Every structure is written in C-alpha cells, then in structure tokens.
Amino acid sequence: MRAFKLLLLSTALAMTTAASAEIRVGFVTSLSGAGSSIGIPYGRGAAAAYEYRSEVGGEKIRLIQLDDGSDPSSATRNTRKLVEEEKVDILIGTATAPSTIAMAAVAGELKTPMIAVSPINLTASGEQWAIAVPQPATLLVKVVADRMVRDGVKNVGFIGFSDAWGDLVYTGAKAAEQAGLIKVLTNERYARADTSVTGQILKVMAARPDGVLNGGSGTQGALPLLSLAERGYKGRNYGTVALINPDFVRVGGKAAEGIQVSAGPVIVAEQLPDNHFSKKISLAFREAYQKANNMPTTDVFSAYAFDGWLIFLGAAERALKVAKPGTPEFRTALKDEIFKTKELAGTHAVYNFKPGETYGVDDRALVIVKLENGTWKYAP
C-alpha cells in the first residue's frame, strides 16, 4: 500500500512538472470601455498568433487573456493576477497608452518581461523589462510631416486625446516643427469618452491651418473630422496608424475621406512587391486571422499583437536553451533574448532591439496610405 501511495505521489509530481513546463503568456487588452474599438482587434490578433503557432522549442504555449475595460487600474490588477496567480512567463498588452504604462510598471516590479502593443515611452528606472512593438509616435508623425511638405502644407492645427497618446503625437508634431518641416498652430485636446469637440475645432479653425493633424485613435478619432466637415473645413487631414480601424471609417464616413496616415506595410500587403520583407509574413498573418476569427482582418492593430507574438517566439526558442518555463531564470532569459532580437521580419517592421531602448523599428516600418471610397489605398 505504501509503495502504491508513493507511486501515486510520484505520478502526481510528474504531472505537475509536466504542466509547469508549458510556456504561459498573459495577454491583456480592452474588450470593453472606450478603448475597445482597438482592444478587440488586439484580441483577435492574439487569436491569430496562437493559430499561427502554439508551441515553441517543443513546449506548448498557454495563452491567458484578460479584459482591462480600458481602465489603467484594471490593467494593473490584471497584470498582478497574471504574474502572481497564473504564473505567466511573459506579458503582452494592452490597447491604450495609459493602461500599457500601468502594465509596464508592474512588469518591472515583478520582473516579468513585457511586450507592449501600444506605442508608449518607457522611462522606468533600473533594469528594463519591457519593449514596444509599434512604430514610435515621433517616427509616425515625421513620415506624415514629410507628406505635408510634399502637399504644400506648412501651418498645421493639432487636435488629439487628452492622455498619453495625444501627448506622444503632439510631441512628434513639435519635433517635426523643430526640424523645420511644419508649424504647429494649436494644441487642442479631448477625452476618449467625449461626444463633442465643437469648442476645440472652433479654435483649430480660427488658427486658419493648411492642414489638421489628428492625434486620436479608433472610433473616437473620427470626432474631429466630423466637426471639421460640419463647419465647412476644406483643408487636408492627416493622422497616424491609430486611425486605421473599421469603426473609424464607418463613423467618419464622408468626413474621413481623403485623410492620409502613416501606417505599417501590412495594411497594403497585397500591393507590395514579392521581395518586400512584410509581404510573406503578412499574408500568413491574414490566413491565420481568418482561421482563428472566421473573418478577414480589416484593421492594423491585430497585426501588432501578431508581431509581438513573433518577437516572443524567437526569444523563447533561445531562452529555452538556458532555463525551464515557470522559473525566474526563464523569465530573465526571455527578457535578455528579447533585447537580442535582430532583423526579425514582421508584418509591420523589421525588428531590432537592444537594452536601453523601447522601440526596435526604423523607416522600413512605415508607408503612407489614403482613405478613398472607404478603403485604405497605398499612396507612395
């Protein structure tokens, strides 16, 4: 009987060891709240990524997804739950810049690597545990400013969110101003939950800009365009990749027609030459997205989650040679290997990371696209 009990115990321990060997990924996004028009695509992108590849180095991957409700405090709680209770090896998220910043703070505190899918500035002191997948706002706006110059637009009105994302876009606009590309006339802001921007748009129009730079995102990014159209604005509109979203196109309607934005090449993958770094992997992403979600991809955000997964896969394969999943040693190795990522071709960019820097993309990560008849068109 004692031998039988020992056998049961050893079997249970073996099963526990086997279970802990899986690599656990904690994914946080905004499936509800003001950021859901972006967060839901992120979630679908994660599903596509898991469909694309659910194991690495012979180890199964377990994906655990939580909704932060577009709330930074909820993102903080979710991050702690994933690390302390679910024992995840890595974190990926989330849909809004404020919530992503909150996640990154906890990731650093709990020494868990994190791949951010929203563009943010990470200024944490001490050891760096997080990187960001998207193109930084300074690069996004620099490419747009170059297009403004070509279009003969010099004086620019700015309106954007009254949060970290709006700050990032405005900072990028001021950097373009300092480079002598444009002159920024206004700095108008609105909250993600606002339903009207009339007061702000009146101030923008009073400045008589040649063009307007939109520092919003998703559905709420359409508000300034609707208000500008109502007041007879005839100038040009510009924005960033944050506006490439079906709800933005639907809500913006005719008011959004003609807007030019900087975006990753994945959005026009089928128009790229066969030797372009993004084409093959972008088409593979679209296939996995269709299988996972039973619909075609029509946004740009889901591909950020997919690229984050590619970065994780490459780093995990190398980290498995150093330590076992579920251990502090593996998390450290995973973090170290993320920063060793070199020339990894994704849907949005070719990624190169190194310690001390948040972003790992260059000019190859962006093209200009224009909204024509409700469809984004490549505008080289």
pLDDT for residue 3? 40
Report the DSSP beta bridge partners of residue 260.
238, 370
Q: Do 141 and 240 form a contact (C-beta atoms < 8 A)?
A: yes
3-class SS of residue 111: coil
Instruction: Tell me if 18-134+281-364 shares its fold with 137-263.
Output: yes
pLDDT for residue 246? 87
Residue 227 structure tokens:
């208000």
Stated pTM of the model: 0.81
Q: Do 286 and 296 form a contact (C-beta atoms < 8 A)?
A: yes
3-class SS of residue 60: strand
Strands 211-215, 155-161: parallel, antiparallel or unpaired by DSSP? parallel
Specify the residue for token string 């499936």: 31
Q: Which of 111, 123, 31, 132 is nearest to 75 (CA)?
A: 31
Fold observed for domain 137-263: Rossmann fold (3.40.50)
- CA-CA distances (angstroms) from residue 77 to 68, 179, 291, 304, 370? 9, 41, 32, 23, 39
Strands 155-161, 183-184: parallel, antiparallel or unpaired by DSSP? parallel
Residue 334 structure tokens:
């995973």
DSSP string of 7-20?
HHHHHHHHHHHHHH
Distance of CA 134 to the CA centre of its chain: 5
Within 10 Å of residue 305's Cβ, how many Cβ atoms? Answer: 27
Within 10 Å of residue 146's Cβ, how many Cβ atoms? Answer: 16
Residue 315, H or E segment: helix 301-319
Report the DSSP beta bridge partners of residue 119.
none
Report the DSSP beta bridge partners of residue 60.
55
Residue 289 structure tokens:
């997205």
CA distance 106 to 96: 16
pLDDT for residue 179? 94
324 contacts: CB under 8 Å, gap ≥ 6: 21, 330
pLDDT for residue 8? 37
Specify the residue for token string 């526990």: 16
10-residue mean pLDDT series, the chain (380 residues): 38 41 95 92 97 97 97 97 98 94 95 94 76 91 94 97 92 95 97 94 97 94 97 96 90 96 92 91 97 93 97 98 96 97 97 93 92 91
CA distance 22 to 17: 9
Question: Could you tell me the residue ranges of all domains in the chain?
Answer: 18-134+281-364, 137-263
pLDDT for residue 10? 39
Single-letter residue type at 257? E
pLDDT for residue 132? 96
Strands 130-132, 114-116: parallel, antiparallel or unpaired by DSSP? parallel
Within 10 Å of residue 15's Cβ, how many Cβ atoms? Answer: 10
For the chain, what is the largest distance between any 2 Cα atoms, rounded to a whole number of angstroms?
Answer: 89
CATH 3.40.50.2300 correct for 18-134+281-364: yes
pLDDT for residue 196? 95
